[in-house]
Amino acid sequence: MLSGSNPEGDLKAALTRVPQVLPDGGILGFGLSHAYPFNSNSTNLFNLKDYLKGSDATINRVCDALSLESSLMAFYREQSKCVGILLPKFVDFGTHQVDDRLAWYLRDFRGSITVVDCDSEGEDDGFIRMMREGADVYSIVWANPLAEVNAFKSAYISYGNEATLDYAYGEVCLVIELPPAEERQ
């Protein structure tokens, strides 16, 4: 997307003039191209935004120029892979009890955004329908794929028939909320 001679201009045009990208609006996600130092136990993602570099910084600049608010988020993957939760900070699981699927637990955190990427592997229509009950669910399109270079995992206690140690996996990413195509300038 940013490979032309004018990457900022190319990105501006793509975000404003391509109605096929999230025609009804939604979340546009960018896997980060560079590795960043963070600790999922202590890093404030808001502050990490000041350290973006290269194409990641270009994306952020273009979003600012278009008055599109960009945010660094922790993207937690659900087992089905097509459902995920975006959070503005890392979750401290501590001794919290996770009784069901991780997405049920995470969607109740302040600032959480439930997203569905139906282009990914592992469709789970029944789970997606259940997630839509009582919560807004947004479509997400990944303009840059997520990269393991900014991946993290957090241990938590999962309760089913008995308590077991489980892990929440995710990546740090940059996201913007796009309005419907007819509202873009």
Per-residue pLDDT tens over the stretch 67-124: 888 999 999 987 666 788 999 999 988 877 787 788 888 988 889 998 988 665 555 5
Asked if the structure places residue 44 within a domain, the reply is: yes
Is residue 132 assigned to a domain?
yes
Is residue 133 domain-resident?
yes
User: Which residue(s) pair with 121 in the sheet?
Assistant: none
Pairing of strands 83-87, 113-116: antiparallel
Domain span at residue 153 reads 7-179
Domain presence at residue 94: yes
Structural domain contains residue 86? yes
- Would 185 be classed as within a structural domain? no
Q: Is residue 136 in some structural domain?
A: yes
Between 122 and 37, where is the model more confident? 37
List all residues 6 or more positions away from 133 whose beta carbon is below 8 Å from its beta carbon.
none
> What's the pLDDT at 21?
81
Section 39-43 average pLDDT: 81
Which has the closest alpha carbon to 86: 37, 28, 144? 28
Residue 156 lies in a domain: yes
Number of domains in the chain: 1
**Residue 164: beta bridge partners?**
158
Whole-model pTM?
0.85
